[in-house]
Structure 1
Amino acid sequence: MKRTVAVLLAALLGLSLLSGCNTMRGMGEDIEQGGEAIQRQSSSY
């Protein structure tokens, strides 16, 4: 029983870490797009 709970908790932890990586990657892409938009606007003046 304890082993099953430990495996389940490990699996949940692994899934949460993987989803966290996707979240950070998406946030990085959003920040990059924002920076590119600022560069485009500043170069037009």
Structure 2
Amino acid sequence: MLTKITFGLLVSVMLILSGCNTIRGVGQDVQTGGEKIENSADKAQKN
């Protein structure tokens, strides 16, 4: 019984940690995309 609970907790922690990394990666991708759009807009405005 204890090993099933321990295994369940271990799997839950692993899923939570991998989810955090995925969310962080998406946030970085969105931020990079926004910076590129902003840079393009600045270049267009200067011309």
What CA RMSD, in Å, does the superposition of the two structures yield over aligned residues? 0.5
Structure 2 residue runs of 5 or longer lacking an equivalent are: none
Rg bigger for which structure?
A: 2
Structure 1 runs of 4+ aligned residues shifted over 4 Å read none
Q: Kindly state the Cα deviation for residue 26 of structure 1 after the two structures are TM-superposed.
A: 0.4
Aligned positions, number: 44
Q: Kindly state the Cα deviation for residue 37 of structure 1 after the two structures are TM-superposed.
A: 0.5
Q: State the TM-score, normalized to the length of structure 2.
A: 0.90
1:13 aligned partner: 12
